[in-house]
Chains A and B, each alone.
Chain A
Amino acid sequence: MSSFNRRDFIRVTGLGAATAATGLPSLVSKANAANPKNVVIIGGGFAGATTAKYLVEWASAEGLSIKVTLIDRNATYASPILSNLVLVGKLPETSLNFTYAALTGVSFVQAEVSDIDTVLKQVTAGGNTYAYDRLIVAPGIDFLDTNGLGAPIIGLREAIDSRTIIPAWKGGTDVTALKQQLTGIPSGTGVFILSIPKAPYRCPPGPYERACVVADWLNQNRPGAKVIVLDANADITAEKHTFSTAFSAMGVTYIPNAHLSSVSYANNQWTVIASTGNYVANVLNVLPRQRAGLLLDKIPGILNASLFADVHALTYESTQIPGVHVIGDAQATPQPKAGHVGNGEGKVCADAILKMIRTNSQDTAQYIANVGESRIPAVVTNSACYSPIKASTAATASYLTVGFRADQSNGWVPTKISASLGEAPSPTGDNWKDMFDWAENLFYDTFNVTRNVG
């Protein structure tokens, strides 16, 4: 055995595949370098951008040759996180815009995806075709016209299309447009109605946070104007103690189990007909019921009956379509729909994809069989966020955090770790400062950009 070594032996006899079947990673390094794996990511938000960044970083550390392509219809991502501070004039809109330029090693393509072919394994965008070995789709959320009872909300679609109702739930210019609407609220008699959709929706504490900072803004700028919250849910869905206390202190009217049936504008005001009564407002901020980004309609069968994508929590691979992974708000695990945890899901997905490549596994079941289920460590993620409560003077914020664990014993379903659930005992100025530390670190972790916002 002088020049004929084990690697040659494996290549000649085809034992590489056999070793993969017995659970040992196959010797892929030499073959892999000549055939880099293509990983295509559609959607450059907190989940998609983080996955791209960590795939490049970790593949490089492992000596695995991959090509990472990130496709987004926009060249700039507008962060919804902290956008309620833009809404009430505490931050400039542009301070929350991020490009992908600092994601070294990621090939970024600005284009609208026109087709996803899961048989040929290719994505068509901007007239070009991108072949993939593994596809990650992170399209975020889109809006429905129906209420929590499944009935259509008459007038909603037209109002959103004509931009007279602006959800402003995706950051960016919509937030500035909603801010402009706030200036039209009169003092004394003004009313701002916030309609919260039935869960699941993006950012559980977000709507309540918006109600608080708007109430505070009105108190400062339009004294006497009021906030009414029409919540389709039976109760406050996150930080109940924090928000119910704040609502009381700020005079916010909170109506649970409120399902909208129609919205209409006449005589300079909105009329809302809901299951709990009729309401009028100067500004109507409807957060519509949500579904996975419309992009996923290009993959028939990938969405469940609730219009989100079921995935294996070990790899975030679709349970319906092998080879396609869905992360972030669009996937259907019990984790909240939020940027911080979407970033964490991206890391799990990146790590799993590298392991699938290394073990020559075509899908999650094969990966589990190749490695041995009992040898796979638990998947642990965490959700955390800070919410501004009062943004004007003596600013305060609250926080919310909880961890999730998916392992063999719970069938790989991310399950809340109750002991890790934490809510700020009360909104504080310290939390307000920490909120900016959190957001700045999250921005850097996702986009490799240091942005000083607070």
Chain B
Amino acid sequence: MAQTGRVAKTAAPSARPNADVRPLMGNEALARGAWEAGVRVAAAYPGTPSTEILEALSGYPEEDVYAQWSTNEKVSLDVAMGASFEGVRALSVMKHVGLNVAADALMSMTYIGVNGGLVIIVCDDPGIHSSQNEQDTRALARFAMVPVLEPSDAQEAPAFMRHAYEISETFDTPVIVRSTTRLSHTRSPVVLGERIEVARREFDDNPVKNVMIPSHARLRHPVLLEREAKLGKYFETSALTELEMLGRAAGVITTSISHGYVKEVLGDASVLKLAGSYPLPERKIRDFAASVERLFVVEELEPVIEDQIRAWGIKVDGKEFFPRDGEFSPEVVRAGFVKAGALPDMGIGDDVFHIEPTPRPPVLCPGCPHTSAYMVLRQAEARVAGDIGCYTLAAIEPLRAIDTCVSMGSSIANATGMAKTRGMTKTGVEQRPVVATIGDSTFLHSGLPPLIDAVYNNADITVMLLDNHIVAMTGGQDHPGTGKTLRGEQTHRVDYESVCRSVGVKWVRTVDSYDLAAMHKALREAIDFKGVAVIISDRECVIDPVKVKGIAMEVRAESCTACQSCMNVGCPSISWSDEWFDGRHKVKIDPNTCIGCTFCAQVCPSDSIQPGTGL
């Protein structure tokens, strides 16, 4: 049976790995590091690519660490701060855009400092795999004067977390540990360490430090400036700053995941691997610059390191050769060095096959309850202010029923603004009704203040609250509307109807998302209602927490007129069959993926779609 191996490989070390090494995803390694560092309280709002960190942390014993989902990132950071005030190590986790939500708290916390160590893990998304932008957290960290640490792979992550807590407590500062999608979702072997138990510090009864009123804050600002200088010096000798002197022709300053790409494509260059992008060890960088003939900075996204080095009057190459947008890869970094003349152009990576790739954009799942909301909205020809969640996928064909999507919770206030233009006859009349669509978790995250605002200002809008009983986009997390906590304990479940009524919404109706006619009727009435109307489109997500499976639908080919109306549902279970009618493909339904939601049957004008007999 044995075949000769045909994959080129280096000699494998003979020893089998010992039991303390485990393959962990970057996010799991960060969680491990937090646990090892003795974290006591952790809070987060889910967001790709950060979600798995708190999920992993909730796998550690309850007596070690209290972990919770918070309603949004600001709440999560405030909760972590509370724990820090009380003298225990605390953690808040979010994605890059979450830090915008939490920024208000962060900007004060940086003045206050910490009691128990406070670390914020922020996961950036270069390449925008699953976000609305690719902002660079390092720039925000520098703005907040909060040190930022950037591990380069999962193996380093636990050590970086331990250092982060030490730095936080030594320098009296919150610390940001920054990951990226690539690091968060790369699995590699990690050496597991022991947990250190850190004694609780006494509450620091010091209003001048803890209560940020103008007279106190004025005293704290100079402390920040001092702290920045001290941290810069600390990183000169920190174990996290690694200098590798090889050739002198090229020297590269880099950090985070970019370090791996640099080592991969320019293995003979000298490399100064920084602990993070702020504050920088000036002496170390000056010495390194002087020791090489040509200095590069290779950093993903913004020129955060490069700008600081340039400001010191050091000659350095960076963003001229390495793009400011998009995710780095060995190809991108190689191309940069080729462009800079540091590497010859070997034509590596040129296409051998010339193939037009088949477009395969992500779509709503078969039976996704969000589908119906957008089917009826499309027919109502409404102006639709969308929000963040799976349902944003309804912005593309064939549903194409979302006109705007800005940030978490924007939809309702966007709709208010749109509706307020409707009465302005002098500027030309726009008649389309205005509807905001927002998911359950997004509504609780930041949809409530704009709803109150809309009622307060008597906006004539319809809000569709798409309640699928879960945070679906990030893989199915609980939230206050599910009645379950991160650790699965039962808790109070938010009742959306009473929430809406209590803030003054006069027209509220809960409708089964699977009943297209009822959805149509509700939407028509809601639009006719003058003022804020809320439709709660109510049906659980078909994949989380339970995979829903009903009787698959079947197409009666003999009566199918190939009108393609069902294709407008955008369901991945429906595709063309080999049969034709009047020059068009008839359709078929994949019984393995169809869950029997009946949307297609409800729109079929010839009643050709019926529950199958195959099951």
A joins B in a complex? no
